[in-house]
Amino acid sequence: MEFAELIRTGQAQAELLRGPEEPPLRGTLCITGHHLLLSPGPQATPDLWLLLLRNVDSIEKRVAGDSGTITLRCKDLRVLQLDIEGVEATLDIARSIEVLLRAGQPLTGPQKRRCSEDEDLLRAVLAGAQPGARGFIVDTRSPQAAKQARMTGGGTEAKAAYPGWKRLHRPLETGRPLQESFVRLVEACGDLEQSMDRWLNRLESCRWLSHVKETLSTACLAAQSMEQEGACVLVHGAEGTDSTLLITSLAQLILDPLSRTMAGFQELIEREWIQAGHPFQLRCAHSAFSHARPKHEAPTFLLFLDCVWQLGRQFPLSLEFGEGMLLALFDHAYASPFGTFLCNNEKERCLCEVRTRTHSLWSGLSQPKEQRKLRNPLYVPNPLAIWPSAEPQSLRLWQGLFLRGTRPPEPSEVAWEKVWQIVTDQEKTEGSQPTDSASEAGP
Amino acid sequence: MGPGSSLLGRALRRVPARQPARSGWLQTEPGQSHRELSARGRRGGGSRAATGPGRAGGRIMFSLKPPRPTFRSYLLPPPQTDDKINSEPKIKKLEPVLLPGEIVVNEVNFVRKCIASDTSQYDLWGKLICSNFKISFITDDPMPLQKFHYRNLLLGEHDVPLTCIEQIVTLNDHKRKQKVLGPNQKLKFNPTELIIYCKDFRIVRFRFDESGPESAKKVCLAIAHYSQPTDLQLLFAFEYVGKKYHNSASKANGAPLGAGGSSSQKTPLFETYSDWDREVKRTGALGWRVCSINEGYMISTCLPEYFVVPSSLADQDLKVFSHSFVGRRMPFWCWSHSNGSALVRTALIRDVLQQRKIEQRICNAITKSHPQRSDVYKSDLDKTLPNIQDIQVAFVKLKQLCVNEPFEETEEKWLSSLENTRWLEYVRAFLKHAAELVYVLESKRLSVVLQEEEGRDLSCIIASLVQVMLDPYFRTITGFQSLIQKEWVMAGYPFLDRCNHLKRSEKEAPVFLLFLDTTWQLLEQCPAAFEFSETYLAVLHDSTRVALFGTFLFNSPHQRVQQSTEFAISKNIQLGDEKGLKFPSVWDWSLQFTPKDRTLFHNPFYIGKNTPCVQNGSVKSFKRTKKSYSSTLRGMPASLKNGIISEEELRPRRNSLILQVKPASLEPRDSQDWDAEQFFREWASRPADLHGTILPHLSGAHIKLWKLCYFRWVPEAQIQHGGFITVFHKLSLLADEVDVLSRALRQPRGGPVPASGPELAPSRLYFRAGGPHDAPGTPDFLSSSFPFSPVGNLCRRSISGTPLSKFLSGAKIWLSTETLANED
């Protein structure tokens, strides 16, 4: 690879600390153009530890005595610490990683005002509206913002031109405020012990949970208009590639039992996010640890995942996928060896031939080994709509993500592991023995 | 409720009110079922079984305005002939269900119980009675939108025990007057509305638009009078027990000693020598003995008759020492660790001159009782924990926050308002302190002495929590009940004052609730370690408000004996050998719930030592590995860094009663602090031993609000068909199936066991696998409030307290009116 020449030192002896749950790993550290590798000595476990360099959000080096420490903060919110023998080696490795990071940053593609898929969708909805049928347009901007957009040539639907449509404004923040909220939240979660006595105040001032609340309630509103009013709903924001997708995909999860299955959820993400042109490359260029000034970054997709997590927590049986799936999607959206989340829209993907030149995440996730981590052991198909409570009292911080690696595993998680085992065991026995002895012995 | 009803309407409607016998027409009136169904169809949008009785309502829809019952009576006059036939049984049905000794003091007919304040369409019509035990609303109308009702055998679904009433407010909306009713007060206006604020956060509203103004007034005054009795002996439990004793003929079968009483029989009450003796033996405590110097409460009126002391202290010494202690509460033993360290509670020594000497003697004696002769670790609770006033203030704030009416107002500031109540902070403070003492007992192998001014409040929580964390026995139902008997009831926790049953106490404080809350936190964090469920804890809390059980009625066991003896003499009851009257125990759950309902107390997650499901060796899966983690990394588990206040920190703050949680200091910590940190770390790195010590995670993110207890009546916070209960349900089915299967497996091995074996042993779980009427999937009636129901218990603006109610009301503003006019 062309990056290879930028690497100063290829190897060093290092110890890796990954978090309170996992044992430290000791071995030889290697840097390649894309990965950071740590191979433990032959006596230890044969597992290679591997980190995609694109996953690194920020790097911090410190030298003490004749050894150095490099702290890597990853986009998936993990914090890793490398203790490296030798000052020189430490500095070299740190420099190499830094160089690679800079070189590996994505180029911002040509910015499109609006993605064509959204316009197609818009037209199709309008054409499909039967005479007399009512429709609601959920605008995710505030009325002021919409007016401003009109001044600059952007669009809102003029009332006269769309008989039968009502416009509702549910302003959702996207872009920089959202990113800032995300950064503040991760910061607060990072030093939990510092803010212990004012923890809730701090959590509130991050405003992340109120973003979750607003998103969920708007999605409920859209879903309710469809379900109870039988009306067509058109959701749009400024460009149709951020908050719009948030609302449409959540509304589908609420209403459509199929989208709550493993396959359905993947389809939903493929359709509503990837093909609808959410600019993953731009939005996920940096995560919360980066010191770079945010330009187009926004954790819109993360916000979606968080809302799905809230749904899953309120309806623990109704989603076929579990927290593991959401975490995996989050990880891969920010840094992934798969091509699924590459590029900003379908057009770019075609140009880069992503389909033919990379592997799809979905095939990666369908490995049986992965499935166990991704599925919800308690899943029971639920044909009804699931109406979440969007009250702040019902929302919780997604600890599995935001306190990832920094908190000890909760006993309840250990209990979940147990539940998983029971359920899989049961499935196994049911699979091998068609007649269930419980039904005979029970009554 | 605005003064909406027209005067004309009232005049017209009062006609039937003068003929109380004709209550029949009222009942066919409101047409609930129709409405209920239409409302339901609108909300969930799913297939729901119509649970409402099929009375055809057929009443036309109404506007959203406050009630105008005027129309109602004339639109659908029920056929007179039918009504006359039906009127007899219906009137009979409106009779209150009374307990022995319970009498109706006052009653009023044609009362409307308000369900929602934005519409009267769901309101129920019936009779409001006030007895010497409860207020009861008797109606034939089914509760709208309610799919499940957790039945209490003592209390109907609309009943409120008098001891649960917090405040009584009467209103007259024509005169625009309002009055909070105290005892023996006069009411200068005829109330049109009565609002009962309950201690368990419920708010119940009644309207008297159609009832006789005089009788309405009388009922209000009666409720005010009877809910604020002047004397302890006027509480209903005395009347009830007196009746039982008088019916001595039926006493043999009246005393609940049948199958239902088993749980109360199993729970040691610690009233006798042998209970204490057994507890000493169970914990393997050597060097401790049961002493009986307080027999007949000769020494102290707030200690139990029997308690446990170091063997090396003679009765004579104890008698001498006792004078120096506040309330003569000398040190007494609570529990011993298997390593010999003991947990001891004591009051402060009043006598400053003697203080040193006595302290020395006691400490020496405790040291002598320790197998390793270890030192004694003293923990002064008054100086490290919030006091009872703080707790009460926090609780009042929490209550305001939870029942806040325009619920949306709290929305933006919810988290900070919650924090400002300081309730969660106190919950954490108690858990933290208990965890620190666990470290001292288990790792440092020191005996711990809990010191508190009187030793009757904070010591109760800390002593119980330490034992719950250390001893798996106290995490079973029987064990937990015996713990409450031992550390609360017998140890002299002043239930009467703290629960404020007589409404005159200045020292009301929910210390017991705080204990249940802290226990809930442990349960939440370690679900597999507890035999009981959160429903059990909530129901236990509710039971403190039912003035029928002797358990939670008195300030001390002595008060029970003294008061009941007085009462017995005044009522001519022969007590015989008994010490005071035998009040029903709250542990006799059969008095309150059917066996089936009681199974909801069982936690399906629980992996008990005796349950077969653990014995296949799969406990091994609980392993987890954890190695040291450099503290230079961000986000060390907060509990480790900050979990311990060093002794140095504890001591100098003599005046501060407010808990201070300092941010982790950067200066080097002393060795003990470091040791404690190490202890917590090591504990966390070991596989979780559900039958050993459990410790809580203490970071801000881990302490949660107990939603089932505080939010069960709030429709807005309810999650329909969701919430934790769905997991509970599913796991119950799994656990039950495992039970059934393992029972089936054991049968052939055990030889000729009767075939009816599995049927004889009732399931420990509420939800059973493969039951006859269990359809696969999640039952319709589950919600995050299960088994409680917000409907009718908290009069809110809107009944459709689904999370969507806000959209419905909000959408009305945005959407065109024609789309939503027929919504409500």
Whether B684 has a pLDDT exceeding 90, the answer reads no
Q: What is the mean pLDDT of residues B688-693?
A: 81
pLDDT classification of B409: cutoffs 50, 70, 90: low
Pairwise CB contact (< 8 Å): B804 & A193: no
- Rounded Cα gap, residues B179 and B168, in angstroms: 8
Find the residue in A nearest to B413 (Cα). Answer: A204
Angstroms from A430 CA to nearest CA on chain B = 13
Pairwise CB contact (< 8 Å): B635 & A224: no
Pairwise CB contact (< 8 Å): A389 & B711: no
Neighboring chain B residues of A314 at a CB cutoff of 8 Å: 719, 722-723, 784
pLDDT of residue A105: 37
Angstroms from A381 CA to nearest CA on chain B = 8
Query: Mean pLDDT: which of A150-159, B336-345, B809-818 is highest?
Result: B336-345
Phi/psi of residue A242, nearest 5 degrees: -125, -90
CA A72 to mean position of chain CA atoms? 20
Angstroms from B456 CA to nearest CA on chain A = 28
Q: Tell me: the pLDDT tens digits for B457-471?
A: 999 999 999 999 999
Find the residue in B nearest to A398 (Cα). Answer: B701
pLDDT of residue A337: 81
Q: Which residue has the tokens 């054409």?
A: A127
* Between B523 and B685, the higher pLDDT residue: B523
Pairwise CB contact (< 8 Å): B807 & A217: yes
Neighboring chain A residues of B424 at a CB cutoff of 8 Å: 200
Instruction: State the DSSP code for A272.
Output: I
Pairwise CB contact (< 8 Å): B727 & A378: yes
Find the residue in B nearest to A383 (Cα). Answer: B46
Cβ atoms of residues A289 and A186 within 8 Å:
yes
Cβ atoms of residues A419 and A377 within 8 Å:
yes
Find the residue in A nearest to B638 (Cα). Answer: A193
Rg from Cα positions in chain A: 24
Cβ atoms of residues B592 and B543 within 8 Å:
yes
- Rounded Cα gap, residues B433 and B379, in angstroms: 9
Whether B663 has a pLDDT exceeding 70, the answer reads no
Cβ atoms of residues A319 and A376 within 8 Å:
yes
Pairing state of beta strands A49-52 and A35-40?
Answer: antiparallel
Find the residue in A nearest to B802 (Cα). Answer: A389
Pairwise CB contact (< 8 Å): A24 & B628: yes
Whether B310 has a pLDDT exceeding 90, the answer reads yes
Pairwise CB contact (< 8 Å): A204 & B638: no
Distance between the two ends of chain B, CA-based, in angstroms?
17
Neighboring chain B residues of A439 at a CB cutoff of 8 Å: 770
Closest CA to A328 of A378, A288, A364: A364
pLDDT of residue B381: 93
pLDDT of residue B560: 92
- Rounded Cα gap, residues A78 and A55, in angstroms: 10
Closest CA to A96 of A26, A20, A11, A158: A11
Interface with B, mutate which of A58, A192, A218, A379 (most B CBs under 10 A): A192
DSSP helix/strand/coil, B691: coil
Pairwise CB contact (< 8 Å): A386 & B722: yes
Other C-beta atoms closer than 10 Å to the C-beta of A346 total 17
Neighboring chain B residues of A316 at a CB cutoff of 8 Å: 722, 724, 726-727
- Rounded Cα gap, residues B257 and B368, in angstroms: 43
Neighboring chain A residues of B641 at a CB cutoff of 8 Å: 193
Angstroms from B525 CA to nearest CA on chain A = 6
Pairwise CB contact (< 8 Å): B618 & A411: no
Whole-structure pTM value: 0.79
Cβ within 8 Å of A, B 12-41:
none
Other C-beta atoms closer than 10 Å to the C-beta of B595 total 11
Q: Which helix (H) or strand (E) holds B359?
A: helix B352-369
Pairwise CB contact (< 8 Å): A387 & B707: no
Angstroms from B690 CA to nearest CA on chain A = 10
Closest CA to B302 of B263, B256, B346: B346
pLDDT of residue B776: 57
Q: Which two tokens stand for residue A397?
A: 């911080």
Q: How many CB pairs under 8 A join A and B?
A: 268
Q: Tell me: the pLDDT tens digits for B517-557?
A: 999 999 988 888 999 999 999 999 999 999 899 999 999 99
Phi/psi of residue B294, nearest 5 degrees: -90, 15
Neighboring chain A residues of B604 at a CB cutoff of 8 Å: none
Q: What is the mean pLDDT of residues B99-124?
A: 86
pLDDT of residue B276: 95
Pairwise CB contact (< 8 Å): A17 & B633: yes
Interface residue B664 vs chain A (CB under 8 A): yes
pLDDT classification of B194: cutoffs 50, 70, 90: very high
Find the residue in A nearest to B48 (Cα). Answer: A384
pLDDT classification of B619: cutoffs 50, 70, 90: very low
Kindly list the averaged pLDDT for each block of 10 residues, start to end, along chain A of length 443: 56 71 72 73 62 75 77 78 77 68 38 41 52 63 66 55 65 82 86 71 89 88 76 71 85 90 91 85 79 78 94 91 90 84 82 82 83 82 86 86 68 63 72 45 33
Q: Which two tokens stand for residue B721?
A: 């068909």
Neighboring chain B residues of A317 at a CB cutoff of 8 Å: 726-727, 730, 778
Find the residue in A nearest to B699 (Cα). Answer: A196
Neighboring chain A residues of B738 at a CB cutoff of 8 Å: 422
pLDDT of residue B817: 28
Pairwise CB contact (< 8 Å): A193 & B758: no
Q: Tell me: the pLDDT tens digits for B729-774?
A: 888 888 888 888 888 887 765 555 444 444 445 667 788 776 544 5
- Rounded Cα gap, residues B697 and B699, in angstroms: 6
Residue B279 neighbours by CB under 8 Å, 6+ apart? B268, B270, B308, B482, B486
Three-state SS annotation for A79-143: EEEEEEECHHHHHHHHHHHHHHHHHHCCCCCCCCCCCHHHHHHHHHHHHHCCCCCCEEEEECCCH
pLDDT classification of B65: cutoffs 50, 70, 90: very low
Interface residue B743 vs chain A (CB under 8 A): yes
pLDDT of residue A194: 61
pLDDT of residue B813: 36
Interface residue B624 vs chain A (CB under 8 A): yes
Find the residue in B nearest to A393 (Cα). Answer: B717
Neighboring chain A residues of B525 at a CB cutoff of 8 Å: 410-412
pLDDT classification of B277: cutoffs 50, 70, 90: very high
3-state class percentages of chain B: helix first, strand second, coil last, to nearest 5: 45, 10, 45
CA B596 to mean position of chain CA atoms? 20
Cβ atoms of residues B190 and B216 within 8 Å:
yes
Angstroms from A166 CA to nearest CA on chain B = 7
